[in-house]
Amino acid sequence: MKFTKLRLLGFKSFVEPMDFIIETGLTGVVGPNGCGKSNLVESLRWVMGENSYKNMRASGMDDVIFAGSTNRPARNTAEVTVHLDNSDRTAPAGFNDSDELEISRRIERESGSNYRINGKDARARDIQLLFADASTGSRSPSMVGQGRIGEIISQKPTQRRGLLEEAAGISGLHSRRHEAELRLKAAEANLERLEDIMAQIS
C-alpha cells in the first residue's frame, strides 16, 4: 500500500483545490519560509485522524479551514483526500476489496468533521486503525516533524518500545485489545446487574 495522491481544498493556506501527485521513491517539498510546507504535512496527519488541534498548530480544529486573506474571504469548509494504491492488496482486512483506497476528511465551521473511505461514511476509529495496521498514522514515528529526532533520542525505554511495536506492525492490535477490554468490562457490569435483578426477583 502506498500514497499516490493528496488533494487539499480550503485546508489552511491551500484555498484552491490542489493535487499533489506522490511518485514512487523519495519526495521532497521545497519552498520559501511560510509557503505552506508544514501545512502540507499537517494535512496528511489530519486526514489520517489527528484529533488534537494543538498538534495542528491551531487554537481550535476550525483553524485548519482557510481563514481568509486581504483579497479572499474565509471558507466555511476544508477537505483533505489521500489516495492509496492497494493493487498489491496489502490493506488491512476489512478495507481490502479494491485496488485503490480514497480516504477523505471534511470539516465544516462549527459542525466538526467527518470521514469517508471510498465514498462511504467511516468513523475516525476506522481510519486510525487502518493506518495503524499499515504501520503509519497521524502520531506515527514515520511522520518525523521538526524536533522529533531529538525527542526520540531522549525517550524512555518504554516509549522507545512503542517505536519498535509500530515498526513491527502491532500497534493496531494494541488499540483493538484496549477496545475488547472495555467491551469485556461493560459485559461484566451488565452480568452483575442481571444477577442483582435475579436475586431480587427470586
109 binds ligand ATP (CB under 6 A): no
Return the residue of 25, 28, 33, 93 that touches ligand ATP, per CB under 6 A.
33
Q: Report how far Cα 111 is from the mean position of its chain's Cα atoms.
A: 19
x/- track of binding to ligand ATP for residues 142-171 (CB under 6 A):
------------------------------
Residue 147 among known ligand-binding residues: no
13 binds ligand ATP (CB under 6 A): yes
Range 139-154 burial, b when 16+ CB lie within 10 A, else e:
bbbebeeeeeeeeeee
Contact between 36 and 117 under an 8 Å Cβ cutoff? The reply is: no
Cβ closer to ligand ATP: 57 or 125? 57
- Residues 59-78 within binding reach of ligand ATP (CB under 6 A): 63, 65-67
The DSSP secondary structure of 16-43, one letter per residue, reads: S-EEEE--SS------STTSSHHHHHHH
Residue 163 exposed, middle or buried by CB count within 10 Å (0-12, 13-18, 19+)? middle
Residue 60 among known ligand-binding residues: no
Grid coordinates 499516490 are at which residue? 4
Residue 58: CB minimum distance to ligand ATP, A: 7
Return the residue of 1, 7, 8, 39 that touches ligand ATP, per CB under 6 A.
39
Q: Which residues are annotated as a binding site?
A: 32-39
Q: Which residues are annotated as a binding site for ATP?
A: 32-39
